[in-house]
Amino acid sequence: MTDTLTIRRPDDWHLHLRDGEMLKGVLPETARDFARAIIMPNLVPPIVTAAEAAAYRDRILAALPEGMDFQPLMTLYLTESTDPQDVAAAHADGLITAVKLYPAGATTNSASGVRDLDNIQKVLEKMAEIGCPLCIHGEVTTDTVDIFDREAVFIETVLDPLRRRLPELRVVSEHITTKNGVDYVKSANRNLAATITTHHLMINRNHILVGGIKPHYYCLPVAKREVHRLALRVAATSGDSRFFLGTDSAPHTDPNKESACGCAGVFSATNTMACLAHVFEQEGALDQLEGFTSLHGPAYYGLPVNVGTLTLKKHTHPIKFPARIETGEGPVTVFDPGLDIYWSVE
Ligand code: DOR
Ligand code: ZN
């Protein structure tokens, strides 16, 4: 039996760090295990310009505890008034790694997102030209589309037409939650990859709704039926380099989650690597974990792999992870995989 596993230090290709006291509280949870992360720009107000991204990067680095080694990979929040030249300059300087597209109203703090893709055609053309990746929250927001169908409808009505119009644009389909998403990514032979979260590999929609409503499992895109979770697990553990880890770890304080209108987001930074070791072991694919967490992402983004390593150890007893972490803004509940995990990061 494998009881230790050493892999290249992982990266998180989709992470929410917030700002201020919340940032201080959650950043060490990621920086402990991950060398780099793609930082989501959906602050209030969002990170829209290169200058805002530079200032946010500096606040993240200032919040990093002494001795921790972590590189935030910044993104810009795309709006209908984003200036293509600002994006190009920020990308050329190495200040930003990608640009994030939120359809307006799709999720937390997405009100300034994009209503009509026609209005951002110039920016997208510029990004295609300079090779700047577009990270997409792939859900339609139309009232008449059922929340469980929003990803599948987005692929057909927005993503596929966009990619046909601009085949040179490098796209990351973020946090895919459906077999439709897996199949679509597999059907593309270039310029498309997808991130998958830890929690979507471990929960389906029953976890949210059976036996009482569980707000800490509520996120967007919402977890789907079991058949979709199983398709995600096959994709993540297959060794296919088009799939890599983006935790979408998204902290909200417990009062904001446990409310009549609870916020969307699962906070999984604390135990993600242990949970993933469990999933990959269950699938008989521990040898594919390193690809998913540490190799495929850098390859798609054209970045070097990390020099350091991370060692996971399997114990004979279940590991107790903290139920919540304390932050200056209040407690944040840690993702509960709902089963015993025997792995920990050494
Ligand atoms: O569940 C989510 N939480 N999904 C998102 O897309 C945004 C995120 C957040 O910012 O809390
Ligand atoms: Zn997110």
Domain that holds residue 318: 4-345
Could you read off the pLDDT of 104-122 as tens digits, one per residue?
A: 887 777 778 899 999 999 9
What ligand has the least distance to the C-alpha of 263? 1
Residue 177 has pLDDT above 70, yes or no: yes
Q: What is the pLDDT of residues 284-329, one digit of tens each?
A: 999 999 999 999 999 999 999 999 999 999 999 999 999 999 999 9
Contact of 310 with 10, CB cutoff 8 Å: yes
Section 153-157 average pLDDT: 97
Helix (H, G, I), strand (E, B) or coil at 14: strand
Would you give the end-to-end CA distance of the chain in angstroms? Answer: 18
* Ligand lying nearest the CA atom of residue 266: 1
Q: Do 21 and 328 touch, CB atoms closer than 8 A?
A: yes
Active site residue 183: no
Total domains, the chain = 1
| Whole-number Å distance between alpha carbons of 345 and 202 | 19
Query: Smallest Cα–Cα separation from 340: which of 302, 314, 312?
Result: 314
C-alpha dihedral sign at 54, 60, 64, 67? negative
User: Of 62, 25, 23, nearest to 40 (Cα)?
Assistant: 23
Q: Is the dihedral of CA 240, 243, 244, 245 positive or negative?
A: negative
pLDDT confidence bin for 2, thresholds 50/70/90: low
Sorting pLDDT into bands at 50, 70 and 90, what band is 1?
Answer: low
Q: How far is the CA of 284 from the centre of ligand 1 (A)?
A: 30
Give the model confidence (pLDDT) of 236-283 as tens digits.
999 999 999 999 999 999 999 999 999 999 999 999 999 999 999 999
Residue 35 in contact with ligand 1 by CB distance below 6 A: no
Catalytic choice (11, 12, 248, 336)? 248
Give per-residue pLDDT as tens, 8-56.
999 999 999 999 999 999 999 999 999 999 999 999 999 999 999 999 9
C-alpha–C-alpha distance, residues 330 and 172, integer Å = 32
What does pLDDT average to over the chain? 97
Q: Are 78 and 99 spatial neighbours (Cβ–Cβ below 8 Å)?
A: yes
At residue 105, the pLDDT reads 80
Question: Which two structure tokens, joined as six digits, stand for 145?
Answer: 């589309």
Contact 27, 266 (CB under 8 A): no
Cβ–ligand 1 distance for 42 under 6 Å, the answer: yes
Percent of the chain with pLDDT over 70: 99
pLDDT at 283: 98
Ligand 1: does its nearest atom lie under 6 Å from the Cβ of 16?
Answer: yes
Question: Which CATH number goes with the domain that contains 30?
Answer: 3.20.20.140
Distances (CA, A) of 328 to 20, 24, 97, 221, 331: 9, 8, 29, 28, 8
97: part of which helix (H) or strand (E)?
strand 96-101
